[in-house]
Amino acid sequence: MSAAFGTTLDVIVDRVRSVCVGLGLTESAEPFSFKQQPTGAIDGCFRIVDRSQSVIGGFRFLEERTDQVVIWVAKKYAGQPMEAKQVLTRQMHSLTVAVTVDGAVTSGDYSVPDQGRAYEIRADQGAEYAVLQLTLPVNYETILSS
């Protein structure tokens, strides 16, 4: 991995946010849920949460980290739950590829290992939309700060 030294999880989350917008998704009005999003604007909304995980190793004031970026995408299903699930499954594949390419090729700042990738598609009882939850591990090097 040819990571740029000084990469932080915040920088990676901003890059992932740009990838989502580049795929035609719109960021949610509220960062931690879709509850404040107007029903008419829920389709194609996303939100991102990062989770610090573990330090793999390092030396000389550098550490190699693997953290997680969790992307939620909402899809209004208007009585067609199977169609919404198919769309969200395609979006899961598109997001996985786009984030992986961004990390390895476009920025070169991080990689997305296979191990630790996960996704789930679900709809809450009475909701008008289904939600994709995509968890991607991100591996990067950072400078230790004092």
| Domains of the chain (ranges, CATH numbers) | 9-143 (3.30.70.1700)
pTM here?
A: 0.86
Amino acid 1: pLDDT: 41
Summarize pLDDT for 84-123 with one digit per residue, the tens: 899 999 999 999 999 999 999 998 889 999 999 999 999 8
For residue 11, the one-letter residue type is V
Reduce the DSSP state of residue 61 to 3 states and report it: coil
Cα separation of 68 and 39, whole Å?
29
Q: Kindly indicate the confidence band of residue 4, based on its pLDDT and cuts at 50, 70 and 90.
A: very low
- Taking only the tens place, the pLDDT of each residue in 43-79 is 999 999 998 765 555 555 667 888 999 999 999 987 7
Give the bridge partners for 92, in sequence order. Answer: none
Helices (H), the chain: 9-22, 81-101
Higher-pLDDT residue of 3 and 76 is 76
What is the distance between the alpha carbons of residues 104 and 72, in angstroms, rounded to a whole number? 22
The pair of structure tokens assigned to 114 is 């296979």
pLDDT digits (tens, 9 = 90+) for 9-47: 899 999 999 999 999 999 998 888 888 888 788 999 999
